[in-house]
Each structure stands twice: as structure tokens, then as C-alpha cells.
Amino acid sequence: MPTCGSRKPVGCVILKRVRTLSIALLGMLALDFVAAAQPPPPPLMPWPASITFSPGAVPLDAKFTIGLSGVGAADPRVKAAALRTFDRLARQTGLPLLPRIVSPDHATLRIVVEARDHRPPQQLGDDEQYSLQVSEAAIRLTAGAPLGVLRGLETVLQLVRQNPAEAGATPGFSVPFVEIHDRPRFPWRGLSLDVSRHFIPVEGVKRTIDGLAAVKLNVLHWHLSDDQGFRVESRRYPRLQRLGSDGLFYTQADIRDVVAYARDRGVRVVPEFDVPGHASSWLPAYPSLGSRPGPFAIVHERGDPTGVLDPTKEATYRFLDAFFGEMAALFPDPYFHIGGDEVDPSEWNEQPRIVAFIKRHHLADGKALQGYFNARLEKILALHGKRMVGWDEILQPDLPKSIVIQSWRGQKSLADAARAGYRGLLSAGYYLDLMQPASQHYAVDPLQGETAGLSSEEQKRILGGEAAMWEELATAEDLDAKLWPRLAAIAERLWSPESVTGVASMYQRLEPINHWLEWLGLTQRSNLRLMRQRLAGVLPVAPLDAFAAILEPVKGYERHRGGYGSSMPLNHLVDAIPPESDAARDFNNAVDRYLAAPNPAGAEALRQQLAGWSRNLAPVRPMLLANSLLTEDLPVADEVAALCRAGTEALSYRTAAVPPDWKPRALAAVKDASKHYAGLLIPIAPAIQKLVDAVP
């Protein structure tokens, strides 16, 4: 934001004529009207519930101090968050900011925490509201409870900016005058993180928690077991991790460390042990838990045999009771996820013993047998003080209403759950592993679509949602790039008012937020750059970067269908690019603007862009030939060349005579470019098609 120091001359005012920007900004956010004359929205994400800017700013300098007051200030999370703020501010501004907590009356940042939170650990629905007033005197952050301080401090850090570099302005940093009153729309805002398919070491999990807290997400749903690996140390059943993993698992000390780390940052940790399906990794150590006779092995490659727990044996329940009891003590959150998804009943139907059990208990089929299993599990978990959460397959009318249904197969299951009296979470539409653009996730709202017709009582049962990151095709190396920045857009959907829907504004803010998240220590851009550098080998990486900038991974499950497994190296070009190409989106938007109002300058800008991409192929081709990992991308280079040619010709044929057979040839080139080589697609193709179509 432009600043005009009335305390100190820290900047100039561009918007002096507008005392408050809240109305203009809200219009921009909701109506998505970002006219060229409008200043970019301040890089806040999630956007606050209420915000009013005024001209002026509080300068940040080496004298920066924090003061803490109110009964809740004694909460260790508050002090720890204040100390982290010094560290992050110092990193962001380069100022030598010593952690100085001083008397509240004299501090630059005055934090007031009105109430103490007497109910650790953090609970679903704990107060996260805060108010922030930045004015002449100071930055005042007021919250009813410690969590609100944590949320508000992230807003303060997002507001910090360099003073505009203009004549007469003082170089430095400041926080603009603003008044914010903020609270979340939903109380459960999370990420489901699969660490079974590819293990994520503790440092990666902690880094992810940093990111969650930075965008005000409050749940890490930790998917700790699946067919490919059992990732937690059990002291009671140590063969689980020994035979059920490749040696990569979290010790109980690791788990305590991560849970404490998350608690300090206002993030609940909900463990998931997926049963009775996705359970192959339990069975090498305890084959008698399986529905069919063993031996069993953890799954390495897609198509390897899997195993399902046997719900008909009392021994299964004794085992789960003891194991869940051990885990219940390790994970303090009251909610405990039992998975329950994608159970293939054929394994049960093939066992005469299990078929006889189904008959004896008057169960209709395998689905009903899973219902029986879930009901037993719910009771076991209740005895350990836990409430059961499960994927939407567990929805059945006879389970107690205390359970939570996580909808992944579509929003209908969320609506069904709410109508039947269950609380629910939305994940359908938030699957980050499917490589969809941020805009697609951003358009998904837990209370729209199938759930829109619910009564207000039913809607209240929708607690929020979780993004999901499955790791079949991701590793610790590129995890951050698969999560960020798209997860920030989902965080906004779950925190901000329903009216905050403008896609252009979201993307305008997402870009600086992406940088800001990297300053925090996330590696979404830096690690991909490193991966491309590795692919470039001894050659300069810049041409490969420019080539990669207009590519995206194929969407949905297309790449999964090509096969995957733990032996598959995920170090090809498709692994070294973000899910969404900013350059392609910018180009596509520029083409739309041009076609809406064709003009010579617009045409020239598009031509230049296409010429640049085309020229870049000259140094790229030798790179693709030099590294055997990259040769698969040669057809992609050919398609980029053809697209650039078709686009350039289309631009010139708006004013020149069109050769009679040109259009069919150009359209054929665009069609060819929709073939996917090496798991890559070229997202400028739709815009090129529009340019070709527009030629008379």
C-alpha cells in the first residue's frame, strides 16, 4: 500500500483522495474488477472479514519492540509467536531486530490477549478472532484468546512492505495504517497430508505446518498409514513399522515434537490410520489381521496385491483397541481419523468364512460389513476419548452423530451427511495432487453446490474443509511446490467471507504471497529451480527455465494411469515445474484482452512474447538432447514451436490476406499440441486456438 508517514515521512500517498479503501477493495474482490487504474490489492491472504485502510504507515526500524498484556499473554504460545515475529521481521526487512519484549505502553506492536485459554490442547472451534489497528501511535493487535494473536501476527507480517521507491521517500519498511476485524468463516481448515506413498521427513512436516499457520489453516490431518508404508513407531507392535515400512517412519519422539510444534503455531494434528482398506502395510507383520491368507508385502508398484483387514475376527478388534489406545495417548486431539475409503469387498466375498459371517449377522453385503466394522471402531475410539472421523464411505445411519464425515467423492456426500445430522468436511474439489489451477479450487465452496439447499441448521454442521495432498507422484523434494501457493487460495476460501471470490484479485495477491511464503522457509520455487538446474547439468539453466515456464503437468489421474511406484524416480521435467504456469495464464489473459479490443500495440506485445518463446527453443533443444532424462520432452519443444508459429501467423492474418489452406493447418497444429508427451501439457494452446479461430 502506498504510505504517507504522518509520524515520519516513510513514503508518498497515491490514494490520498480515498480515506478508506474497504468498499473499493471489497468490490474488487467480489466482482473481480481489476481495472488497470486500480492499485493492486494489498497482499493479504486470506482476505480479512473487515478491513479499512487509511493513508499513512507505522515505520519499522531497528527500534521495533513488542509489548504483551492481558491475562492471556501468559500463554506460552503468545510469547513464542512474538519471538518468532522478531526473527521473521529481521529476515524480511534485513533490520537488526533484537527480540525486545517491553512494557506494552511503549511498544511498536502492542498485543492484548483478553482471556486465557484454559483448555489445552487446542480444540475445534477455539476462538481465533482478532482485531488489528495500525495508526499513528502503534500497531495494536487485540484478541480474545491466544489463537487470535497467532492469526493476527500473520496478518501483521503480510502487511509489512518496502516503502515505495520514489523521489524523496525514505527507504525502509512500514506497516500501513489499517483497521482489521477478522474471524474465520469455518472452524476446521486443514490439509490432509499423505506420508505413506512417499515419506516426508519431520523437517518437511514442520515446514508445512509453518505454511499452514501462515495462511491461517488450523489442522494437519496426517495420513500415516497406507498400502505403501506404515509411518509411525508403535512400541506395542514394533513390527508394524519395522516390516510395514522401508525403514522410514516417525519415532514417537518425532510425533511428540511435531505435535508440540503444531500446537505452538495454532495447528491441530489429526492422525489417520486408514482401515480396513489401504491397509497392506499392517499385514507383513501381522498377517492374521488380513482377510485372505498371507503372505503380505507392502505395495511398491501400482498393481501390486493389496490387503484388507478382516472385520470378522475378534482378534482384529483387540489389536485395533490396543494400537489405537497407544496412538490416542500420542495424539492429544480429540478427533481420530480411521480412513475407511475405497474398500474393495471382493476380498471378503471370496472368503467363505467371511461370507458366512455376513450371513450370520444378517448383513446385506460387504458395505454393510464395513458398517459393522466402523460401528465397532467408533466404540473403541470413544473408550479412548476420541471422536471418529472418516472418508465419506463411512456414512451410515446407525453411527452416532458425534462422528465427522470427510467428503472426497463429491459434495453430495457432504450434503447427505449434514441432512442426516452428521458434521462434515469438504475435500472434493481440493485435491492438490490433481494439478488443477488455484482458480479451480478457489471456486469450490463448502456451502455452495450440493450443500446450498441445506437449512441453516444443516449448514452449521459443515465444519469446513481440507485440501488433500496424496504423494503417489510427489516426494519430499517437490512437496512444497505441490502445496504452495495453491493451498493459500484454499485457505482463503475456508477463512474469508463467502463474498470474497474475485479470481483476478486472488491471483494478484497469490504471487506476492508465494514469495512471502518462501521467505518463511518454504521451498516451492527454490527446489524446483534446483531440480531444473540438475536437469540442465553443466549447461546454463535459463533456457530450460523459460521453456518450462509455459508447461504444466497433465491434470487429474492421467499421469497416475501411466503407472507409479516407489522405484519410479520423480525427477523428470514434469516433476520440476509448478502445477500452474503463471506465464501461460498471463498470456491467455492478454489474448482475451486483445481479442476483446484488437489493437496494434496489443498484437505486437503478443507477437514479441511468442517470438521469445520460439527463439528460446534454439538453446533448449541441445539441452533436451544432452540429458537422457530430457529427451522425452523433444516432441513438446516441437509443439511449442508449432503453436508459436500458428499464433504469430494468426496475428498477422488479421491484417494480411490469409492463404486458403492456412486455417485448417493452423488448427491441426493446435490440435496436435493437445497430445501429451512426457506428462506435460502446453497451457498456451487454448489462447493460440482463440487467435486462430478469430482469423476471418
- Rounded distance, CA 620 to CA 535, Å? 12
The secondary structure of 511-559 as a DSSP string is HHHHHHHHHTT--TTHHHHHHHHHHHTTS-SHHHHHHHTT-EEPPTTHH
Which ranges of 21-124 would DSSP assign to H, the alpha helix?
22-31, 76-93
Alpha carbons 131 and 149: distance in angstroms, whole number: 9
Q: Which is nearer to ligand ACM, 130 or 408 (CB)?
A: 408
| Helix, strand or coil, per DSSP, at residue 362 | coil
Amino acid at 275: V
Could you tell me the smallest distance in angstroms from the CB atom of residue 374 to ligand ACM?
Answer: 15
Could you tell me which residues come within 8 angstroms of residue 335 by beta carbon, excluding any fewer than 6 positions away?
Answer: 124, 268, 270, 386, 387, 388, 389, 404
Q: Which is nearer to ligand ACM, 319 or 408 (CB)?
A: 408
Residue whose CB is nearest to ligand ACM in the complex, by number: 341
* In the complex, minimum distance from the CB of residue 579 to ligand ACM, in angstroms, rounded to a whole number: 17
Which residues have CB under 8 Å from 72's CB, separation 6+? 78, 113, 114, 115, 116, 117, 143, 144, 145, 146, 149
Burial category of 569 from C-beta neighbours within 10 Å (exposed 0-12, middle 13-18, buried 19 and up): exposed
Whole-angstrom Cα distance, residue 245 to residue 281?
7
Write out the residues near ligand ACM by the rule CB under 6 A.
341-342, 391, 408
- List b or e across 254-278, with b for residues whose CB sees 16 or more CB atoms inside 10 angstroms: bbeebbebbbbbbbbbbbbbbbbbb
Cβ 456 to ligand ACM shortest distance, Å:
29
C-alpha cell, 327: 496412538
Q: If DSSP codes are grouped into helix, strand and coil, which group holds residue 630?
A: coil
Collapse the DSSP code of 60 into the 3-class scheme (helix H, G, I; strand E, B; otherwise coil) and give the result: strand
Considering 301, 342, 350, 511, which one is annotated as catalytic?
342
**Residue 47 neighbours by CB distance under 10 Å:** 22
Helices 662-672 & 634-652, crossing angle to 10 degrees? 150
Judged by beta carbon, residue 335 or residue 408, the one nearer ligand ACM is 408
Cβ atoms of residues 610 and 652 within 8 Å? no
**Judged by CB, which is closer to ligand ACM: 77, or 223?**
223
Q: Compute the least distance from the CB of residue 433 to ligand ACM, in Å.
A: 9
CB 210 within 8 A of CB 81: no
294 DSSP 8-state letter = -
Closest approach of ligand ACM to the CB of residue 111, in Å: 40
> What one-character-per-residue DSSP string does 197-258 give?
SS---HHHHHHHHHHHHHTT--EEEEEEEETTEE-B--SSSTHHHHHSSSS--B-HHHHHHH
342 is catalytic: yes
d(CA 181, CA 148): 11
Tell me whether strands 130-134 and 109-113 are parallel, antiparallel or unpaired: unpaired
Tell me which residue has cell 507422484: 473
SS3 of residue 370 by DSSP: helix
Interatomic CA distance for residues 27 and 32, integer angstroms: 7
The dihedral formed by the CA atoms of 214, 217, 218 and 222, expressed in degrees to the nearest 10: -100
Please report which residue ranges of 63-138 form alpha helices under DSSP H: 76-93
Looking at residue 168, its amino acid is G
How far, in whole angstroms, is CA 9 from its chain's centroid?
Answer: 39
Query: In whole angstroms, how far apart are CA 461 and each of 49, 402, 403, 458, 496?
Result: 21, 11, 11, 5, 18
Tell me phi and psi for residue 226, to 5 degrees: -160, -175
Between residues 117 and 393, which has the closer beta carbon with respect to ligand ACM?
393
Residue (64 or 408) nearer to ligand ACM, CB? 408
Q: At what angle do helices 76-93 and 503-519 cross, to 10 degrees?
A: 90
Q: Minimum distance between the CB of residue 391 and ligand ACM, rounded to whole angstroms?
A: 4
Count of residues making up the chain: 696
Q: Is the dihedral of CA 427, 311, 232, 564 positive or negative?
A: negative
* Catalytic annotation, residues: 342
